[in-house]
Structure 1
Amino acid sequence: MPDHRPEPTPAALYARVSSDRQDVDLSVAAQLRALRDHAEKNNYLVVREYVDEAESGRVADRPQFRRMLDEASEDGAPFEEILVWKFSRFTRKREHAVAFKSMLRRRGIRVVSITEHADDSPTGKLMEAIIESVDEFYSENLAQEVARGMREAASRGFWVASRTPYGYSRVYVQDGAKKRPRLEPDPETVPVVERIFALAEAGKGITEIARTLNDDGITNPTGRPWSKNGVHILLTNEVYTGVLQWGMGAKDGAPPVRVEDAFPRIVSKEQFGRVQSLMRSRAPKRAHPRRVGSSYLLSGLVKCRSCRRALSGQDSKSGQFSYYVCQSLMKRGRGACDAPRLNARRFERLVVDQLRANVLTDSNIRDLVRLVGEELDGIAHEQRRKLETIESELADVRRRLDRLYHLMETT
């Protein structure tokens, strides 16, 4: 007897586990197992599987999520529906849900939750919107609760940051029903920290300190050679005086937590202060490659011919001369690269003269103006088309809402 079942619907599976510490949703493996089982029982043909692990649903810039949307935007997208375990796996932000689902609908692609019923009827869309709003509320409320708990733990001297500073180790202590981490000096690395501060107090520069440690075979916290930046970060970190700081860049504007003598200190406050004063007095003027308003035209744009690292602008200590210097030399000191220092003004003048002679010609500028005009005209046309589409969809939504409100008032 012939099989009269309809052709299976091509579908993509999307699974995500959150980076939130208190995420209680299913694991990726459990989500995929449930999605595959649902697809098999409901005549779906799975053509793609996308998985984001340790990715928050409050952000849209998730690698596999973006890949899925990009493939859905192409002509001849390989799937017609996206199956998720819950709508919260797709996104936890209401505005993201509206924007992305609208884009997918224009491509003829639906997002389907296998555990939350929401069809294409007005009531189904209302239920879907309610579910997404509740998900967003849950996510934001959970983030606030987690941050509040971490702030409370930090204020009591517990180390809640993700990284343990070099020279310390985490020791878990009982705190009621839970165990929380505190910092204790690490016997193996404390002598290295003390040596770094002693060298700095003796007048050694941070580049020389990094070279000394590397010559002695001492690696940094990641097992790599010490760099200038690594030594600088260590020498300017108050944690070595027993000070705990947390929440320096809190998004809600709450003041940071600062606890004195939260754990044993490795250096005294007096020695730490002397080192800071010495570093400030020795620090040369330096322009970062991405610094806004930098006086160096080519910082971050040119690379070393020997090691391919970026060249950055640097003033001499006197401030009278300026150079382009290889990042390897700046971070690791003499011997790290054989590239010479380039006189900044001569180098910039040479590059500018070459640009004027070969790139910024009259004919090239005319062609550039024409191409920019054509591009702007194309963008304007596309934006007008999108605006007309949005206005049409908005009018349709308003008509549906009016019908829904009328139905609710008369029932």
Structure 2
Amino acid sequence: MYLEISNPMDYHAALYIRLSKEDESEGPSQSVQNQESLLREFVQKHRLSVYDTYVDDGWSGTNFDRPDFQRMISDIEAKKVNMVITKDLSRLGRDYIMTGHYMERYFPEHRVRYISLLDGIDTGVDSTANDITPFRAIMNDMYAKDISKKIKSVKRDKQRKGQFIGGKPVYGYKIHPTEKNKIVIDEEVAPVVQRIFSLALSGMSCRTIAVLLNQERVPTPATYAGIPVARAGPYTGLWSSERISDMLQNETYIGNMVQGRSVKISYKSKKCLKQNPSDWVVVEGTHAPLVDVETFRKVGMLLKSRRRTRSRTYDFLLKGLIFCHECGYPLAVINRKNARGEDVLYFVCRTYQRFTKAGVCTCHSIKEKTVTDAVIAKVREVCRAYLTPNKLLPVAREAVENARKQNSLEMEIQMLQSKIDSLTANLDRMYTDRLNGLLPEADFQRIFGRIKLEREQLEEKRQALEFQKKSPVRSEDRARELVQRFIETAGESRELLVSLIERVELTEDKEVIIKFRFAQLDEMAEIYVPQGFAPF
């Protein structure tokens, strides 16, 4: 070192030390203690006055938001420091743009002398070492970029092997207590996740599930994980339909490790970009599942069916499954009064609604009940053709035995109770909307009556199950009852419809075309012409 300081009493020095994880690979010479020892030796030799020592341990050189670096900048602004000393230029930073900003602009403007000991840089004197400083900064930046690529490659390799490399696992799991890069089921909140899937499988929407969890004051994943909120808003700490939807589509819950859903823009930025699902890293069977694959698949189909509809006021069996045959767009549903003044739902073409004068499509008006009855009849016909009680009985016996093992009767009662609670919440919300003038009286009476009737039916089912729980029937009788009930109610279950039917199309001539998900069933999906339809 050939640095000389002729007027040491004029300076109040800041000793700046930085160490990051990538620097540790270079050996003990980069340690905090080694850096401080070198800097102390220099200031003692030149009789400099040290104002303070600033240490950022574990911080990357590409990030200038380091706590002690910013504290040093504050002291410079307050004119407490007018000299900055580092071991080498890379300790100041590895981003050549920001390093150049501080060296060429910030330090000179604030009359701060910068000294890098090993590089021989001293902005207080003219030297050739100062002239090549920009090139040193670029080399440091290239080193940081190279390290970033290597770290990214190592992380990607761990992801492909199914090793967990994130900070916090998805809600319902926790870090393995002994094994690194593994996750295990969090028994405390796992039942919440399983209940969410059960509610979704029963046909409950994401929004309704979120409302139910908020009413029960179930802590959200962020609240449970203790994640701090920078700026609290009106919905902070509340479940949302988006959160529920994201959970219901996360393959982590069926035992697959899902990572790489977002990536950093660059090694210099903290911002992340969401990746397309095709670019995610998914490794199957890395941990214990919370939900079986079949339940996950059915819930996924239920969610997908709802994306095609914007109707929130009216609920009907074919919601999200019914399309216009001519234009291909989903059909809308509207409410009209019949000759007796009763409210009746009708399907109409959404394209016709929007571009009536252009004549793009036709009205396609038909009673919702007429089409629904036609679809139910066709599904029952298909089920009767392919399913007989004798063929179903072995499956039913197995289901009954499994149900006994899993105490499914109790689960079914809980599921019915959840539906009843949800309907009660809907009634309360509608009553509030009516009082606030948001819901017309006619709509309130119609929806109120329908939901109330549905709640009474669920109450009857729950009471029947409670009675059955107290006096259980034989497994054989239970299996036969299950088979008979399935055949009789085939087509009335939303879950069954979504599992069997891909879409239902309504033609201009009021013909219903059912497209099944299975090729062998399509042979029976002849065009069905409903009778007795009535345009409004």
TM > 0.5 between the two? yes
Give the corresponding residue for 1:243. Answer: 256
How far has the Cα of 1:6 moved from its partner? 5.1
Higher relative CO (CA 8 A, sep ≥ 6), structure 1 or 2? 2
Check 1:29–1:58 CA distance in 2 against 1; reply closer, same or farther (3 A cut): same
Check 1:198–1:85 CA distance in 2 against 1; reply closer, same or farther (3 A cut): farther
How far has the Cα of 1:67 moved from its partner? 5.5
Q: Secondary structure at the match of 1:181?
A: coil
Give the corresponding residue for 1:12. Answer: 14
How far has the Cα of 1:152 moved from its partner? 1.0
CA distance in 2, matches of 1:209, 1:33: 61
Is the contact made by 1:83 and 1:111 (CA closer than 8 Å) also made in structure 2?
A: yes
Give the corresponding residue for 2:409. Answer: none
Is the contact made by 1:17 and 1:28 (CA closer than 8 Å) also made in structure 2?
A: yes
Q: Deviations over 1:279-333 (max 9, x none)?
A: 4555797xxxxxxxxxxxxxxxxxxxxxxxxxxxxxxx999xxxxxxxxxxxxx9
1:67-82 residue pairs with structure 2 within 5 A? 68-69=72-73, 72=76, 74=77, 77-82=79-84
Structure 1 length-normalised TM: 0.56
Q: Secondary structure at the match of 1:59?
A: coil
CA distance in 2, matches of 1:341, 1:34: 73
How far has the Cα of 1:102 moved from its partner? 0.5
Structure 2 length-normalised TM: 0.44
Q: Secondary structure at the match of 1:112?
A: strand
1:295-314 residue pairs with structure 2 within 5 A? none
Pairing partner for 2:292 from 268, 271, 274? 268
Q: Secondary structure at the match of 1:150?
A: helix
What runs of 5+ residues in structure 1 fail to find an aligned partner?
A: 174-178, 286-316, 320-332, 344-411
Is 1:227 aligned to residue 218 of structure 2? no
How far has the Cα of 1:198 moved from its partner? 1.0
How far has the Cα of 1:100 moved from its partner? 1.7
How far has the Cα of 1:94 moved from its partner? 1.8
Is 1:181 aligned to residue 185 of structure 2? no
How far has the Cα of 1:90 moved from its partner? 1.2
Q: Secondary structure at the match of 1:245?
A: strand
1:65-214 residue pairs with structure 2 within 5 A? 65-66=69-70, 68-69=72-73, 72=76, 74=77, 77-103=79-105, 104-119=107-122, 120-126=125-131, 128-129=133-134, 131-171=136-176, 180-213=180-213
Instruction: Count how many residue pairs are aligned between Structure 1 and Structure 2.
Output: 288
Amino acid at match of 1:42: H
Check 1:39–1:6 CA distance in 2 against 1; reply closer, same or farther (3 A cut): closer
Q: Secondary structure at the match of 1:58?
A: coil
How far has the Cα of 1:275 moved from its partner? 2.8
How far has the Cα of 1:35 moved from its partner? 4.2
Q: Deviations over 1:8-31 (max 9, x none)?
A: 511223333437696668566775
Larger radius of gyration, structure 1 or 2? Answer: 2
Is the contact made by 2:20 and 2:61 (CA closer than 8 Å) also made in structure 1?
A: yes
CA distance in 1, matches of 2:205, 2:32: 50
Q: Secondary structure at the match of 1:199?
A: helix
CA distance in 2, matches of 1:171, 1:141: 32
Pairing partner for 1:45 from 45, 49, 60? 49
How far has the Cα of 1:48 moved from its partner? 4.8
How far has the Cα of 1:58 moved from its partner? 1.2
1:287-302 residue pairs with structure 2 within 5 A? none
Amino acid at match of 2:60: S
Amino acid at match of 1:203: G
CA distance in 2, matches of 1:32, 1:21: 15
RMSD: 4.4
Worse-superposed segment, 21-30 or 138-147: 21-30
Amino acid at match of 1:44: L
How far has the Cα of 1:93 moved from its partner? 1.6
Give the corresponding residue for 1:351. Answer: none
Amino acid at match of 2:92: F
How far has the Cα of 1:142 moved from its partner? 1.2
How far has the Cα of 1:235 moved from its partner? 2.6
Q: Deviations over 1:41-92 (max 9, x none)?
A: 43222335545455422133445545544664x5x73322112233222110
Is the contact made by 1:57 and 1:88 (CA closer than 8 Å) also made in structure 2?
A: yes
Check 1:163–1:19 CA distance in 2 against 1; reply closer, same or farther (3 A cut): farther
Give the corresponding residue for 1:57. Answer: 61
Give the corresponding residue for 1:376. Answer: none
CA distance in 2, matches of 1:153, 1:271: 29
Is the contact made by 1:58 and 1:92 (CA closer than 8 Å) also made in structure 2?
A: yes
CA distance in 2, matches of 1:214, 1:85: 55
CA distance in 1, matches of 2:210, 2:41: 57
Check 1:145–1:278 CA distance in 2 against 1; reply closer, same or farther (3 A cut): same
CA distance in 1, matches of 2:160, 2:81: 51
Check 1:38–1:271 CA distance in 2 against 1; reply closer, same or farther (3 A cut): farther
Amino acid at match of 2:115: V
1:346-361 residue pairs with structure 2 within 5 A? none
